[in-house]
Amino acid sequence: MAQIVSESVTVSHQALREFTWGCLKKAGLSKENARLVATSLVESNLRGIDSHGVARLPHYLNRIRHGSIKPNPEQKFTRISPALGRLDGDHGMGQLVMQRATEEAIALGRETGAGWVAVENSTHCGALAFYGLQIAKADMIGLVFTHSDSMVVPYGAKHAFCGTNPLCFAVPGENGHALCLDMATSVVPWNTVLNAGIEGIEIPETWAVDRAGNPTTCPSEVEGVHAFGEYKGSGLGLMIDVFCTFLLESPYGPHISKMYGDPTIKRHLGGLVGAIDISRFQVPSHFRKNIARLMQEWNAQQPVRPGERVLYPGQPEEATRVHRLAEGIPLGIHLLTIFEEVSQELDVPWNPCL
């Protein structure tokens, strides 16, 4: 996966969660809502998805301050058929909206065998694995989609059109393991480029283009990132925009307000969450056993580099989570400086060594 390497300090996940929770409460979220968002963000860091972790906290706080994110939205769920629902997120934090959509999809799936919830009026929701893994834990197959503003250059074009438009597929294995593919349809998440800018480091020239459509290694010059797999990722990203846009008339691509644009303008993001009840097809324990065997056979494949291992989707994140729970989460030194400023501004204690 695309990553950046910068000078960092290791922070305990408990300290990070308490600080994030405290900041969100000070910003107006209820204790329950703040805890959910804080858990989602720190969980992303624990799994090594730093692009969607606590580095986004200052951005969320800024949008709450300017009114484009409601700290405690009045979400409205409408069941439109036995297996289908729509959720108006009321411009709340995307984590709250997608969590509600996940819970409703699971409930529909338990009742009818499959549940699908289309989302409107949401905001950036963080890493999709947070929701997909909940569906897998419920002995269901999870499918989660969302979209974003124009960030990805279509194959053969010079300028961005769709967003990084991620997807997540998750299925349960045994002993708490899961197959979980959570990926953007771009070669790198936009927020990884942003994190590189925060830490003042260059990015590979194969990731992104500048305003003129030329390759750039400077994060501040990036106007678009490339789709993964050339025309394949480009086409997949476009179709995800369809899933997230036209069921409920949300905006798409270049018509979505910029995540890092005017913080007073609401974003109206869409999404789609699906849950398929495995028990309608076979006994879940048998399904999990088969997935575990699949994982073992995958791991047993001969690697190109001696001494390495062929990993299944979600396995690197599982290993990173175990390591970071024990050893702590690395945060860039410049991000830590920003957190110190946020701590003083909101009067929230910040003790990274807790």
Q: What are phi and psi of 271, to 5 degrees?
A: -170, 170
CA 344 to centroid of chain Cα atoms: 28
Angle at the Cα of 182 from the Cα atoms of 172 and 255, rounded to 5 degrees:
135
Angle formed by the axes of helices 94-112 and 129-137, nearest 10°? 30
Write a three-state SS string for 172-199: ECCCCCEEEEEECCECCCHHHHHHHHHH
- The span from the CA of 207 to the CA of 223, in Å, is 11
How many C-beta atoms surround the C-beta of residue 262 within 10 A? 10
Q: Where are the beta strands (DSSP E) in the chain?
A: 8-11, 76-81, 84-88, 114-122, 140-146, 152-153, 167-172, 178-183, 208-209, 215-216, 224-226, 269-277, 329-332
Q: For residues 69 and 122, is the Cβ–Cβ distance under 8 A?
A: no
CA 174 to centroid of chain Cα atoms: 24
Helix (H, G, I), strand (E, B) or coil at 112: helix
CA-to-CA separations, 144 to 180, 277, 282, in angstroms, rounded: 11, 15, 23
Question: Residue 181 corresponds to which amino acid?
Answer: L
Select which of 13, 52, 91, 124 is catalytic: 124
User: Is 59 an annotated catalytic residue?
Assistant: no
Residues designated catalytic: 124
